[in-house]
């Protein structure tokens, strides 16, 4: 990456103005911009401002619904289901989080499912908002339109990478898990293909079932596929977990692959858990903090870096970039500048 940096707040303002010019109301544009910039701050550069071009295209072309509210499909105490009508994904998720937080203080667990939600960005970008309130959060997403992951032992892609994120408060830094249940994410494959380089490992299978590090095998006819998490040998584990996400998102929401949607979007499962309603919040943080410290203290092999808990690197990168400025992946600001010229928005100045 280059060393050109931008203030995070300037990027948020810039991204929000682009979305406003594309037709999104100001409050919702600010929320979407905040989540995208948070993705870049935490190092999720395929799910940060890289997404601005397709989001703007969707907003201007009608794929993203700009106004209105989600429809309530079901509502019962600590459980509710919304039809998102393809409203902006980050806004919908944060609205659902706010409603779930109101309920979790009463019921101990609050669960939301959102069907027909637009794309939601990086799942890890949401977790701190829960852990800072001493709540545990589970967030999962699938895309009923997308087929890119093959079942273990199969050739044809059948489902999406289905990420799962978990935010766990501790008596120190939170644990912030964010993993796709495939060997890699589609954004990583697409970026490698655009850059003309191989993937770091044989994370794909071609249409004959052979392991490959060539991103182009995803674009043959018939297409190759991503392995489930675990790859050629242990992919049955990721396959099973991927099916779990499908059940908790699309199936619980009552809308998924069987409906053959044409829209780019997400089915979302969101759960907040209040440890205070179980064994106690202080006891919970003591236990999670003890385990985190034990893991970090585990000796590493000679020459290997020390153990990191999930989220340690993202939080460290976030703090560094908030202080010194955000480094965008090469090509992102150039792409954003082109969109800004089309929409009459002034790009931010880099930090001198």
- pLDDT, tens digit, 9 for 90 and up, residues 133-184: 999 999 999 999 999 999 999 999 999 999 999 999 999 999 999 999 999 9
Q: Are residues 169 and 41 in the same domain?
A: yes
What value does the mean pLDDT take over residues 318-323? 98
What value does the mean pLDDT take over residues 11-26? 98
pLDDT-wise least confident of 1-15, 133-147, 223-237, 253-267: 1-15
Q: Are residues 71 and 212 in the same domain?
A: no
Q: Are residues 265 and 165 in the same domain?
A: yes
What value does the mean pLDDT take over residues 106-130? 98
Say which residues have a Cβ less than 8 Å from residue 130's Cβ, sequence separation at least 6. Answer: 97, 101, 136, 137, 167, 272
Q: Are residues 218 and 326 in the same domain?
A: no
Q: Indicate if the pLDDT at residue 2 is higher than 50.
A: no
Q: Is residue 3 part of a domain?
A: no
Of the candidates 192, 226, 260, which is a domain's last residue? Answer: 226
What value does the mean pLDDT take over residues 76-83? 98
Q: Indicate if the pLDDT at residue 348 is higher than 50.
A: yes
What value does the mean pLDDT take over residues 23-50? 97
What value does the mean pLDDT take over residues 324-336? 95
Q: Are residues 46 and 94 in the same domain?
A: yes
Q: Are residues 26 and 73 in the same domain?
A: yes
Q: Is residue 190 part of a domain?
A: yes
Q: Are residues 220 and 232 in the same domain?
A: no
Q: Are residues 124 and 207 in the same domain?
A: no
Pairing of strands 136-142, 164-168: antiparallel
State if pTM tops 0.85: yes
Nearest-5° angle of CA 317, CA 166, CA 272?
A: 125
What value does the mean pLDDT take over residues 242-263? 97
Q: Indicate if the pLDDT at residue 42 is higher than 90.
A: yes
% of the chain beyond a pLDDT of 70: 99
Q: Are residues 72 and 126 in the same domain?
A: yes
Q: Given pLDDT bands bounded at 50, 70 and 90, which one contains residue 3?
A: confident
Helices (H), the chain: 8-21, 26-41, 52-61, 89-107, 124-131, 186-195, 231-246, 252-253, 281-297, 312-324, 332-343
Q: Are residues 98 and 215 in the same domain?
A: no
Question: Residue 1: its pLDDT value, please?
Answer: 43
Q: Indicate if the pLDDT at residue 34 is higher than 60.
A: yes
Could you count the other beta carbons within 10 Å of the beta carbon of residue 290? 12
Question: Residue 270: its pLDDT value, please?
Answer: 98
Question: Residue 217: its pLDDT value, please?
Answer: 96
Q: Is residue 303 part of a domain?
A: no
Q: Is residue 1 part of a domain?
A: no
Task: Return the CATH number at 90.
Answer: 3.30.1370.60
Q: Is residue 97 part of a domain?
A: yes
Q: Of 234, 217, 12, nearest to 226 (Cα)?
A: 217
Q: Indicate if the pLDDT at residue 94 is higher than 60.
A: yes
- Mean pLDDT, the chain, rounded, equals 97
What value does the mean pLDDT take over residues 80-87? 98
DSSP state of 109: E
Task: Return the CATH number at 190.
Answer: 3.30.60.50
Q: Cα–Cα distance between 352 and 350 in angstroms, integer? A: 6
Element (H, E) at 82: strand 79-83
Q: How many domains does the chain have?
A: 2
Query: Which structural domain, as residue segments, surrounds residue 231?
Result: 8-183+227-282+312-343
């Amino acid at each position: 990456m280059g060393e050109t940096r931008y203030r995070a707040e300037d990027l948020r303002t810039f991204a929000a103005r682009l979305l406003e010019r594309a037709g999104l109301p100001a409050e919702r544009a600010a929320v979407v911009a905040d989540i995208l910039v948070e993705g870049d701050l935490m190092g999720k550069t395929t799910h940060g401002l890289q997404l601005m071009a397709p989001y703007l295209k969707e907003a201007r072309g009608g794929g993203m619904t700009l106004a209105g509210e989600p429809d309530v499909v079901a509502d019962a105490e600590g459980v509710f289901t919304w039809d998102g009508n393809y409203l902006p994904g980050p806004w919908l998720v944060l609205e659902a989080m706010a409603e779930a937080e109101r309920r979790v203080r009463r019921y101990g667990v609050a669960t939301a499912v959102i069907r027909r939600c637009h794309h939601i960005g990086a799942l890890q970008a949401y977790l701190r908002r829960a852990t800072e309130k001493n709540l545990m959060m589970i967030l999962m997403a699938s895309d009923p339109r997308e087929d890119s992951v093959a079942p273990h032992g199969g050739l044809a892609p059948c489902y999406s990478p289905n990420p799962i994120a978990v935010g766990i408060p501790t008596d120190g830094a939170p644990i912030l898990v964010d993993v796709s249940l495939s060997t890699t994410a589609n954004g990583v494959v697409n970026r490698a293909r655009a850059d003309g380089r191989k993937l770091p490992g044989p994370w794909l299978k071609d249409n004959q079932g052979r392991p490959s590090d060539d991103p182009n095998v995803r674009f043959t006819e018939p297409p190759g596929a991503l392995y489930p998490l675990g790859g050629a040998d242990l992919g049955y584990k990721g396959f099973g977990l991927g099916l779990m996400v499908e059940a908790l998102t699309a199936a619980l929401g009552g809308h998924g692959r069987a409906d053959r949607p044409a829209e780019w979007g997400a089915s979302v499962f969101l759960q907040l858990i209040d440890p205070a309603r179980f064994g106690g919040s202080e006891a919970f943080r003591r236990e999670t903090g003890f385990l985190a410290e034990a893991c970090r203290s585990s000796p590493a092999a000679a020459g290997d870096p020390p153990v990191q808990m999930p989220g340690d690197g993202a939080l460290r990168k976030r703090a560094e970039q908030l202080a010194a400025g955000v480094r965008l992946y090469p090509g992102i600001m150039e792409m954003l500048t082109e969109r800004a010229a089309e929409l009459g928005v002034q790009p931010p100045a880099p930090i001198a």
